[in-house]
Amino acid sequence: MQTKSCAQCNQECEKDQFPKKQWKREKPLCRLCFELTNISKEQTRQCKECKVVLPRNQYNVDQWAKGDKALCHGCRELVGQQILASFGSSTESNMKQLPDGTCVCSRHYKELCDECMMDFTLPNQFARMRTSVGRDLTKDEYEEQTKVYMEDSNIHINRKICIMDGQAICPRSGRKLRCPCNEVTYCSKDCQVYHWTIHKMTCKVQLEKAKKKKDKAAAKALVAQAQAQAAALSASAQPLNPN
């Protein structure tokens, strides 16, 4: 197993925890430190919640990018524990449905809430479309709306590392537990549970897409095999040249 020490956080990390170009350097920066440095070269920042000035390794990338509105790992963890404790087997206790059929988090009344790790943007788009057309959506309409949402969001997911990498809850265990939909990777069960409130919006769609892609590739392979067999039979059936 290849590892190197990050020049900033001094943590011993595996190769896939470094950007490719950084791995080749004598003093590389791990993926987290590299992304934090790209956002800001500041080394400390005051947490919005606890008001304590902390080094940047006490923030995840998303929070660090929020500037003076950033929450440190400790405050994020506290919020996360409160949310997970109230989850149970569902998110109903943290979800409030509005009269128009859309949903928001019950704590902050937000459609997209970073603190509660809840994103109702896509299901709310579905709800608004159903209201607009006056009926339930077809499977094709669901898929098309999801495709547009993913493109407009400009989401890029690195499947080589845990989707929760850099979050306070992530143990950065180095394990790679790929979701069956093949969209995201986790390094622990806790990361998967914590991220499910977001991922469940697209998991089923991605799972069906992956199945269609696999079936299409299998069908293409069968056609190629049949064509090859037909060509072989045709060649063997050719009459011998008397000359």
Structure tokens at 41: 């070269």
Res. 93: pLDDT tops 80: no
Tell me if 56 is assigned to some domain: no
- In the chain, how many domains are there? 2
Instruction: Quick: pLDDT tens for 182-210.
Output: 888 888 888 888 888 778 767 877 777 77
Pairing of strands 44-46, 53-55: antiparallel
Tell me if 75 is assigned to some domain: no
Percent of the chain scored above 90 by pLDDT? 1
Q: How confident is the model at residue 115 (pLDDT cuts 50, 70, 90)?
A: low
Tell me if 164 is assigned to some domain: yes
Tell me if 207 is assigned to some domain: yes
Tell me if 34 is assigned to some domain: yes
Grouping H, G, I as helix, E, B as strand and the rest as coil, residue 212 is helix
Residue 211's domain spans which residues?
Answer: 156-224
Q: Strand pairing partners for 103?
A: 97
Tell me if 12 is assigned to some domain: yes
Question: Rounded to two decimals, what is the model's pTM?
Answer: 0.40
Q: Which residues contact 189 (CB under 8 A, 6 or more apart)?
A: 177
Instruction: Quick: pLDDT tens for 26-68.
Output: 889 888 888 888 888 888 999 888 888 988 878 877 788 888 8
Tell me if 33 is assigned to some domain: yes
Rounded to an integer, what distance in angstroms lies between the CA atom of residue 71 and that of residue 46?
Answer: 8
Of residues 88 and 176, more confidently modeled: 176
Give the pLDDT score at 231: 81
Rounded to an integer, what distance in angstroms lies between the CA atom of residue 43 and that of residue 45?
Answer: 7
Instruction: Quick: pLDDT tens for 116-131.
Output: 667 788 888 888 888 8
Give the pLDDT score at 242: 56
Tell me which amino acid residue 240 is: L
Tell me if 193 is assigned to some domain: yes
